Chains A and B, each alone.
Chain A
Amino acid sequence: MYGWLWRRLPFGLPGRITGSLVLIATVVALLWYVVFPAVDSLLPVNDGQVTGPTGTNG
């Protein structure tokens, strides 16, 4: 997978290193600013409120 990607990046070794870093940065930014905030709000682990049995807040 990564080998396949590496072989397809253009402009020799410098180009491959640059291209890899750009791809990694893109994926990390996408996760950090889009995916993780969306996932975070679905996680109940940090709930701070006390909630009644009906689901309404007491």
Chain B
Amino acid sequence: MTVVAPARRGTSVPPPSRVFATLRMVGELAVTAGLVLLLFAAYEFWGRPAQVDARQHELDRQLDRAWAAPPTGVATPSASAAPTVPFKELGTRLWLPKLKKHWVVAEGVAPADIRWAPGHYPASALPGQVGNFAVAGHRTRALFWDLDKLGAGDLVGVQTRDTWYVYQVRTVEIVSPSATEVVAPVPGDPEATPTRKMLTLTTCNPRYHNNQRLIVHAELTSEQPRSSGAPAGIGA
């Protein structure tokens, strides 16, 4: 079906064309919005994990350099290797051999702290201490995506400058986002005095949702000097 051209010269756009032009414009905008949303989904799935991996690689090398430097004494000029992005460093690596992953851990669990790394709850214990070494991580493919695959008996390795700590998963639970008792010194009992050396990992559940938290509790089973190499089963 052909559109009849306007008879008179000088009539720039006849009314029907203007309506169609507007409709076409709206349609184009709607299709564009759909494509942008699809691209954002792709970014969440591939783009951001890749950026987190790249940042982790950078943090890994920074931590290696920091650990290679003399521990005390005169200030070394290696401060020139300042991080490109502010990052509060805990000086710890976390290994999940079951997931074939490891990360440099950040200090703090604010959104800015855990943007590129799992973050240590500042009030919780440090690795190897009596109490609860608690770490939060995003449920993205670069971080705690497959945390639900951990089960009782799986190993969690924690590497500090001097020591390797090996924790063994005891329980996995799903709680509400306000269940702060899971990161208490005695998990589940905020009033109790700790006697055991625990580790707790928290992430959101289900994936890409914010209405639950997936919690993994583990207990220290062994420790050894870092100089004697990676513990069996950690695969570092």
Contacts and interface: CB of A to CB of B under 8 A. Distances in A.
A, B in one complex: yes
Interface of A: 1-3, 28, 31-32, 36-37, 39-41, 44-53, 57-58
B233 to A, nearest CB: 25
Contact of B48 (A37, A49, A58): A37
Contact of B136 (A2, A36, A49): A49
Q: Is the interface of B mostly helix, strand, loop or mixed?
A: mixed
Contact of A48 (B24, B48, B122, B144): B144
A40 B121 CA distance: 22
Given A57-B121, A58-B123, A50 B179 contact: yes
Contact of A58 (B44, B121, B144, B208): B121
Max chain A Cβ within 10 angstroms of own Cβ: one of B43, B119, B137, B215:
B43
Given A37-B48, A40-B48, A47 B123 contact: no
Contact of A51 (B24, B122, B177): B177
Contacts of A39: 40
B139 A48 contact: yes
A50 B182 contact: yes
A56 B40 CA distance: 30
Contacts, number: 93
Nearest to A36: B43
A46 B204 CA distance: 6
A31 B36 contact: yes
B159 interface: no
Nearest to A44: B210
B234 interface: no
A31 to B, nearest CB: 6
Max chain B Cβ within 10 angstroms of own Cβ: one of A2, A47, A53:
A47
A42 B160 CA distance: 32
B39 A50 contact: no
Given A1-B28, A32-B43, A32-B47, A48 B36 contact: no
Nearest to B110: A57
B136 A48 contact: yes
B39 A47 contact: no
A44 B211 CA distance: 10
Max chain A Cβ within 10 angstroms of own Cβ: one of B40, B115, B121, B208:
B40
A31 B122 CA distance: 34
Contact of B115 (A31, A41, A44): A41
